[in-house]
Amino acid sequence: MAKRILVVGGAGYIGAHTAFALGRAGYDALVFDNLSTGRREFLRFGRHIIGDLADRGALDDLFSENAFDAVMHFASRINVGESVADPGKYYRANVADSLNLLEAVRDHGVKHFIFSSSAAVYGLPQGPLTEGHPFSPINPYGKTKAAVEWMLADFSAAYGLKYCALRYFNAAGAAPVASGAKIGEMHEPETHLIPLVLQAARKGESATVFGTDYSTPDGTCIRDYIHVCDLAEAHILAMQRLMSGEQSAAFNLGGGRGFSVREVIEAARRVTEINVAMREAPRRPGDPDTLVSVNAKARTELGWEPRYADLEYIVRTAWDWERERSRSLTFEQS
Ligand code: UDP
């Protein structure tokens, strides 16, 4: 019988791509999502239940009615600026609700847990970003991710839960059109560079560059963009590793190389064949100049090999999604 996987937050961007990948890999995915930021139209991969992690009764029902071989936990608020302005919302959604989930997992004897962590746990780089880099988050969002990693370590020590914390760098791109998945990035409000540049291309507007005076070769920030389908694949590998009896671990999920904001805009110009204008703006508070992963551990221990590392390919899949999405928006409005 297919292994049953609970995908909490499976109506969101990365969760939906992983639910899709789980189905294709022969797993029985059950999505649990409160649709606070997830999309109802992404609930097409396996069964789903609309429910909230704050509701312990709903969780007890869910776990009593289903025996899960693993839980993947994607549900999270992700807007750094909002986390600074409204930290309580972030501690409640990302920490308190995760604690509810972990207690339900403990009480119902689920053995394997995969957590969506973030490079934000590291804060300002003090050296190469290996998994051993100290935790020094500089905003509430990063602190909530660090807090859940600590909770997981303590639950693992006390109750024997096996977990992987997957520290994402910059998730980007969308499932290729040929996959038929019709899912992609769709945040409201959108704050991420690639979708914003592509929206600017589509609308004939200019893309904003936050900071051109960083100590990088072209003066703009360097980030490590990783295709969302590569992230999805890593979740399955991490889960299989735990199921094979390996110990809990944390892994960086990034491509291991960086691209500047200008390079991203240039890639978007090539892909879209639209000469997107650049508008220079002041630095965004709290942005370090460079964030690039060391991904050797995921490569060697998970056998993970990012398949879609090419920036232009990442941007192309995001562009295909942007056009698909805008077509359905036009359709809805007409
Ligand atoms: N950025 C930008 N213009 C935008 C959005 C983002 O110049 O409209 C920059 C941002 O300052 C950062 C990089 O692009 O250096 C990636 O930002 P994003 O919000 O996509 O991801 P983050 O690295 O903050 O997780």
Confidence of residue 115 (pLDDT cuts 50, 70, 90): very high
Q: Pick the residue whose CA is nearest to atom 12 on ligand 1.
A: 221
Task: Tell how far the Cα of 235 is from the centroid of ligand 1, in angstroms.
Answer: 24
Which atom of ligand 1 is found nearest the CA of 197? 8
Per-residue pLDDT of 277-323, as tens digits, reads 999 999 998 899 999 999 999 999 999 999 999 999 999 999 999 99
Q: Does 332 score more than 60 pLDDT? A: no
Cβ(208) – ligand 1 distance below 6 Å: yes
- Please state, in angstroms and rounded to a whole number, the distance separating the CA atoms of residues 88 and 214: 32
Q: Does 37 score more than 70 pLDDT? A: yes
- Please state, in angstroms and rounded to a whole number, the distance separating the CA atoms of residues 48 and 44: 8
The pLDDT of residue 286 is 86
Q: Does 122 score more than 50 pLDDT? A: yes
The pLDDT of residue 330 is 63
How confident is the model over 193-206, as a mean pLDDT? 98
Q: Which domains does the chain have, with CATH numbers?
A: 4-168+227-253 (3.40.50.720), 177-223+256-333 (3.90.25.10)
Cβ(170) – ligand 1 distance below 6 Å: yes
Q: In this prediction, what percent of the chain has a pLDDT beyond 90?
A: 96
How confident is the model over 89-118, as a mean pLDDT? 98
How confident is the model over 72-86, as a mean pLDDT? 96
Confidence of residue 331 (pLDDT cuts 50, 70, 90): low
Q: Give the residue numbers annotated as catalytic, written as ranges.
A: 141
- Please state, in angstroms and rounded to a whole number, the distance separating the CA atoms of residues 332 and 329: 5
Cβ(29) – ligand 1 distance below 6 Å: no
Q: Does 334 score more than 50 pLDDT? A: no
The pLDDT of residue 19 is 98
Strand 28-33: give its sheet, edge to edge.
Answer: 47-50, 28-33, 4-8, 70-73, 112-118, 162-168, 249-253
CB of 32 within 8 A of CB of 48?
A: yes
Task: Tell how far the Cα of 196 is from the centroid of ligand 1, in angstroms.
Answer: 9
Query: Which tokens belong to 189?
Result: 């409000």
How confident is the model over 255-274, as a mean pLDDT? 98
Q: Which helix (H) or strand (E) holds 194?
A: helix 193-203
pTM listed for this prediction: 0.97
Task: Tell how far the Cα of 284 is from the centroid of ligand 1, in angstroms.
Answer: 8
Which atom of ligand 1 is found nearest the CA of 191? 19
Q: Pick the residue whose CA is nearest to atom 20 on ligand 1.
A: 192
Task: Tell how far the Cα of 192 is from the centroid of ligand 1, in angstroms.
Answer: 6
CB of 94 within 8 A of CB of 136?
A: no
- Please state, in angstroms and rounded to a whole number, the distance separating the CA atoms of residues 179 and 182: 8
Confidence of residue 327 (pLDDT cuts 50, 70, 90): confident
Q: 233: closest CA among 157, 171, 148?
A: 171
How confident is the model over 166-194, as a mean pLDDT? 96
Count CB neighbours of 64 within 10 A: 11
Cβ(201) – ligand 1 distance below 6 Å: no
How confident is the model over 247-260, as a mean pLDDT? 98
Cβ(221) – ligand 1 distance below 6 Å: yes
Confidence of residue 328 (pLDDT cuts 50, 70, 90): confident
Per-residue pLDDT of 215-245, as tens digits, reads 999 999 999 999 999 999 999 999 999 999 9
Q: 161: closest CA among 172, 148, 170?
A: 148
How confident is the model over 174-201, as a mean pLDDT? 96
Cβ(313) – ligand 1 distance below 6 Å: no
The pLDDT of residue 329 is 67
